[in-house]
Amino acid sequence: MRILKPNWVSHEGRPLFSVDIHPDGSRFAIGGQGDDSGKVTIWNMAPVKNEEDEMNENIPKLLCQMDNHLACVNCVRWSCGGKYLATGGDDKLIMIWQMARIMGAAAVFGGNNSKLNVEQWRCVNTLRGHSGDVLDLAWSPDDSFLASGSVDNTITIWNAQRFPDVVTVLKGHSGMVKGITWDPVGKYLASQSDDKTLKVWRTSDWQQESEVTEPFAECSGTTHVLRLSWSPDGHYVVSAHAMNNAGPVAKILERDGWKMRMDFVGHRKAITCVRFNPKLFVKKIGEESSRPKQYSCCAIGSRDRSLSVWLTSLKRPLVVMHDLFNHSIMDVSWSDSGFQLLVCSWDGSVAYADFTAEELGRPMTEEEKEKFHKQVYGISINSSKTNLASAIIENPEMLKIQQRHAMKQQTLANTNKPPAPPPPLIPSGTPTKQDSSAMNGSTPMKSPSYSLTSPVTRSPIDPVNVLEKQVETRTKDGRRRITPLLVSTMEVSDSPVPFGGSSAAISPPGNSNPSGASQVSNSIPATSQNLVALDSRIGENATTGFTSKSKDKTPERAEILAVKPVSATMKPITATKPTSTPTTTVSSTSASTTATTIAVKRKSDTPTSSQSKRARKDGSSSGSKSAGGSSNSKQREDRTDQEESVDASLHVRHSVAIPYPTPQKNLTVQIKGNGGEPALTLDLENNLANQGPRAHILKCSAAGKPLWETVIISPGIALAGNRQVVSVACENRSIDMFSSTGRKILPSMVLDSPASILQCSRHYVMLVTSSGGVFVWDTKRVAAVLKNESVLPLLSGPDVTITRASISERGFPIITLSNHASYSLDTSVGAWVQLIYADDLLAVNSDHQSVAPSQDPLQAKGPLAQLQGQSSRIGRQSSRVFRSNTGRQQSATAVHLENQLSSCVALGSGKEYYFWLTTYVRYLSQAGFEPRLREVCEELLGPPHRTIGAQDKSVNWNPTILGHQKRNLLRELLPHIGTNIRLQRLFTEFREQLDALNVR
């Protein structure tokens, strides 16, 4: 045994709180206090192990120094595969580091030229979620998870395959969590806290398995950390500070029954850290022993400044080192070989101990240890995933679903497999891996300069389409706002190369790729590109005014004939100034894609200078527009969406809430044909003579052939129609409705103010008056759906305008404002229901794209998608912004999906409801939100074990929703729930109830 204290390993005398040896034994990291910040340094292990390397000036000692933490670093931990380094500190942050591909000596930031960063390490992820100092970190044995304990009394489990996603947050402790450790087979997680408890958690459902309190009842919170450890055979958990007969001990918790009957004694003060050797050892104990005995090795550090090393086969410690430091021992780390030990102290120094096989025994190989785990536990960490370690599939249907899901995931992984990394960089003049002495750095290097063994072949990087990926929004005043997008990519290597070697010495035990997984999750799935294109088309149509063309061939869904307002054609209630205009033509399009833009000016009638110029320009070129659409459509199509919205805006006094048009000589509406039917033309001829009785003629023709003709008394100011109903709003504040043959359906109805917006959709007619009243009539039932409901409460700001008005499938009005908010009035709740929110942070930060159904992207086509336009693409691009708090992002995503479902119900959109319900259930299943899933399943199942009949009339449950049978929906959604094995009980419960209902 050799003991060494390398005085050159330090943080200039400042405290050190953590040390960890890289799995390949080539380097080690220490963390502690720096100059007004936290400091992490990575050191070469060769000068520590070999005196010749230490004396050789050409072999660097310091490999890299990182000062990114804003406060003291409390813990550093290498991943089991050696690819990543995790650091946590008093700044509440956890940083994930990875070595960069480009190696070269560079001066340490803020230091002199005597300190060089020989290796370049980059922070590839920053995990934010704790509200207090991070005290301890632990990687799961297969690198699937990273656990962090904090002063905020919680343990956060991070998804190491997809940083910075949070798997769960364990909140059972009532005191600071100062230590965490994983079961070597991944079945449990143990934690120790200042609340005088040690808790064991199951990884299958993240619930508490056991709690131990008795040995810690007399303990005081005098230690900075309480780093417990799990033995490599899985039999024991050894705690940090505990008490036995008023003396400090390290208590041994047995896996079988979670009993504490033994302890490690001898230290005079509280025990701060325990660390088991990762190797299992085999050795003959005593002369009478005929066969080797298997045992573990454990190192214990204490506040009494001493270190003890124990073998579980011996009753007394193997060695005790007193007065090794001037202050408390803070952390202990074993090398993966099992014979090197590093210890750090509060006094800022590090000690190294080198053991021999005669002292510790023969280490078992990884194959032997894996075989032992399989014999004892039936599993090993290499044969199963951590989160499935204790799961047993209980249902055959669940097994089939899991198999299909695994095949899909494998196919996706093969499709998205990253290219091979470039050749590693090695120091020039150093021997290759074939020379074993080069692995520990015993061969001096000629110089600290670096070169390539072969030309670097960079992996292909997909070109970044900045225009497609940039996040662009518009402010309320119409200006563009673009969020900066980082287009450069940081190149990092798959795993660090042992110093002086040409390749990595070990391979990761699991498929740990946090950075790559994160990049994939943030990208837009290929299957959702059609959705983006669809949303883009809808968004463009929704903002091009009345001349927008839709591919929806349903004739009865199109027909708003409101004016393209120009200051010369609109007037307050008290003004009458008719002007002649050319004929206006409007194509029959979808009701939800037609629009009128109406602005509300609060202070004066006078438009802004730019709008006045636009109005004068339009007036000189095409004259005033009539109340049925727009003229000079070719010129309008050449304008941009922004120009269109400005051109269509109107400004009037607050006394006139919404401007209305003046009578025009001619109003014309074109209704496209469908299914071989000819196109129809509605033509209203207003007799604007100043003298004598005046009659106004409304005609309908097809291909120039008159079909019918009728007469109205007052000049018409707005015209709308389709193949089911034709409506005319008149100057005398009346409205007339006619059938498809010209028959008058209802008597003339007189309103309290002139009409500003008129629209027809199927057999519904909607009218918005200048005073803000909204009417909807059902001409089939000859009844009013809505009676003079005021839209004024929605116009909350001086610059808020109505940009779109349409009718939903249920016959309710849909109002879209210039701030991108949309509302619908639902009579069942008696209030305006918000469909789309202005500056919707939930939509922007939603992270549901990865679980959205990909088999049929057109399922999302409908009125809600048309209202939202390109918002789904913006959310896809902007979701990265909210990843600083993953738990909050999950909540935002769930609420956003719930809003989508509510909006689909309000709009009566059955296809979209199915699409968003599927997305919602898939997201809840992936996130493991069992209570919400259960509530959804119960609503779809209805009264349990009953058939819908006379006996169920008292039950307030409707078996259908938007044309879908609820129980059929549940049957289709259960396979999505079955993809999460933790939800198999929920899956089985509702599957059995559905089967029982079908039998009856």
Q: Where does residue 665 rank: exposed (0-12), middle (13-18), buried (19+ CB within 10 A)?
A: middle
The phi, psi pair for 134, rounded to 5°, reads -90, 120
What token pair was written down for 616? 């004068």
Work out whether the CA dihedral 387, 392, 398, 403 comes out positive or negative. Answer: positive
Q: How far is 201 from 437, CA to CA, in rounded Å?
A: 44
Total-model pTM? 0.51
What token pair was written down for 373? 């785990």
Q: Where does residue 582 rank: exposed (0-12), middle (13-18), buried (19+ CB within 10 A)?
A: middle
Residues 170-195: pLDDT tens digits? Answer: 998 999 999 999 999 888 999 999 98
Least trusted range by pLDDT, from 114-123, 283-292, 353-362, 427-436: 427-436
Range among 523-527, 687-691, 736-740, 880-884 rated most confident: 736-740
Least trusted range by pLDDT, from 105-109, 678-682, 949-953: 949-953
Range among 274-283, 380-389, 571-580 rated most confident: 274-283
Which has more pLDDT, 980 or 569? 980
Q: In what order do the strands lie in the sheet with 177-182?
A: 177-182, 188-193, 197-202, 208-212
- Tell me the three state secondary structure of residue 459: coil
In the structure, how many helices (H) and strands (E) does the chain have?
19, 58
Give the pLDDT band of residue 12 (cuts 50, 70, 90).
confident
Give the pLDDT band of residue 148 (cuts 50, 70, 90).
very high
Range among 396-405, 725-734, 825-834, 945-954 rated most confident: 725-734
Least trusted range by pLDDT, from 134-143, 789-798, 844-853, 900-909: 844-853
Query: Please, which residues have CB within 8 angstroms of residue 640's CB and are 6 or more apart in sequence?
Result: none
- Strand locations in 111-246 (E): 116-117, 121-128, 134-139, 145-150, 155-159, 166-170, 177-182, 188-193, 197-202, 208-212, 229-230, 236-244
Q: How far is 659 from 605, CA to CA, in rounded Å?
A: 11
- pLDDT score for 313: 87
Q: Where does residue 928 rank: exposed (0-12), middle (13-18), buried (19+ CB within 10 A)?
A: middle
- What residues are paired with 42 via a beta bridge? 29, 64
Q: Which of 888, 765, 784, 907 is nearest to 834 (CA)?
A: 907
- pLDDT score for 763: 92
- pLDDT score for 287: 65
What token pair was written down for 43? 């050191």
Share of the chain above pLDDT 70, in %: 68
Do the beta carbons of residue 5 and residue 49 sit within 8 Å? no
- pLDDT score for 620: 38
- 559, amino acid identity: E
What token pair was written down for 897? 């999906």
Q: How much is the average pLDDT of 444-463? A: 37
Q: Which of 78, 83, 71 is nearest to 30 (CA)?
A: 78
- pLDDT score for 861: 72
The number of C-alpha atoms within 13 Å of 825 and in the hemisphere containing its C-beta is: 23
Give the pLDDT band of residue 145 (cuts 50, 70, 90).
very high
Identify the DSSP state of 606.
P
With 60 as the cut, is the pLDDT of residue 320 above it?
A: yes
Identify the DSSP state of 214.
G
Residues 584-629: pLDDT tens digits? Answer: 333 333 333 333 344 433 333 333 334 444 434 344 333 333 333 3
Q: How much is the average pLDDT of 265-290? A: 85
With 50 as the cut, is the pLDDT of residue 966 above it?
A: yes
- pLDDT score for 515: 42
Give the pLDDT band of residue 853 (cuts 50, 70, 90).
confident
Which has more pLDDT, 669 or 533? 669
Q: How much is the average pLDDT of 508-516? A: 44
3 state SS for 413-465:
HHHCCCCCCCCCEEECCCCCCCCHHHHHCCCCCCCCCEEECCCCCCCCCCCCC
In order of 586, 614, 722, 750, the CA distances from 739 in angstroms are 19, 39, 10, 19
Give the pLDDT band of residue 775 (cuts 50, 70, 90).
very high
Give the pLDDT band of residue 691 (cuts 50, 70, 90).
low
Q: Where does residue 952 rank: exposed (0-12), middle (13-18), buried (19+ CB within 10 A)?
A: middle
Which has more pLDDT, 458 or 756? 756
Helix (H) or strand (E) holding 94: strand 93-99
- 105, amino acid identity: A
- pLDDT score for 913: 92
With 80 as the cut, is the pLDDT of residue 772 above it?
A: yes
- What residues are paired with 757 via a beta bridge? 768
Count how many residues are written for the chain.
1000
Which has more pLDDT, 567 or 973? 973
Residues 520-539: pLDDT tens digits? Answer: 333 333 333 332 332 332 33
Q: Which of 448, 456, 450, 426 is nearest to 438 (CA)?
A: 426
Which has more pLDDT, 206 or 518? 206
Do the beta carbons of residue 777 and residue 759 sit within 8 Å? no
Identify the DSSP state of 630.
B
Q: How much is the average pLDDT of 303-310? A: 92
With 80 as the cut, is the pLDDT of residue 275 above it?
A: yes
- Tell me the three state secondary structure of residue 395: coil
What token pair was written down for 311? 């073998």
Which has more pLDDT, 129 or 879? 129
With 70 as the cut, is the pLDDT of residue 470 above it?
A: no
With 80 as the cut, is the pLDDT of residue 994 above it?
A: yes
Q: What angle do CA 764, 769, 773 make, to 5 degrees?
A: 80
Do the beta carbons of residue 224 and residue 89 sit within 8 Å? no
Which has more pLDDT, 327 or 525? 327
- Tell me the three state secondary structure of residue 375: helix
What token pair was written down for 109? 């930031």
Give the pLDDT band of residue 485 (cuts 50, 70, 90).
low
- pLDDT score for 562: 38
Q: How much is the average pLDDT of 371-385? A: 72
- 316, amino acid identity: R
- Strand locations in 371-478 (E): 425-427, 450-452, 471-474
Do the beta carbons of residue 228 and residue 274 sit within 8 Å? yes
Least trusted range by pLDDT, from 41-50, 236-245, 574-583, 921-930: 574-583
Share of the chain above pLDDT 90, in %: 32
The number of C-alpha atoms within 13 Å of 225 and in the hemisphere containing its C-beta is: 35
DSSP state string for 746-766 = EEEEE-SS-EEEEEEETTEEE
Rg of the chain taking only CA atoms, in angstroms: 37
- pLDDT score for 222: 83
314-321's contacts with Cβ under 8 Å and 24+ in sequence apart are 314/285, 317/264, 317/266, 318/359, 318/360, 319/1, 320/266, 321/3, 321/351, 321/353
With 90 as the cut, is the pLDDT of residue 20 above it?
A: yes
Mean pLDDT of the chain: 74
Do the beta carbons of residue 80 and residue 141 sit within 8 Å? yes
What token pair was written down for 128? 């934010």
With 80 as the cut, is the pLDDT of residue 65 above it?
A: yes
- pLDDT score for 443: 39
Give the chain's end-to-end CA distance (angstroms, integer).
Answer: 77
Which has more pLDDT, 601 or 464? 464
Q: How much is the average pLDDT of 663-673? A: 90
Do the beta carbons of residue 531 and residue 860 sit within 8 Å? yes
Q: Which spans in 908-983 are helix H?
A: 910-927, 930-941, 966-977
Helical packing angle, 910-927 and 966-977, nearest 10°? 30
Q: Which of 463, 451, 454, 464 is nearest to 422 (CA)?
A: 454
- pLDDT score for 198: 92
Q: How far is 905 from 912, CA to CA, in rounded Å?
A: 9
- pLDDT score for 405: 74
Q: How much is the average pLDDT of 148-174? A: 90
The phi, psi pair for 689, rounded to 5°, reads -65, 145
Residues 937-948: pLDDT tens digits? Answer: 999 998 864 444
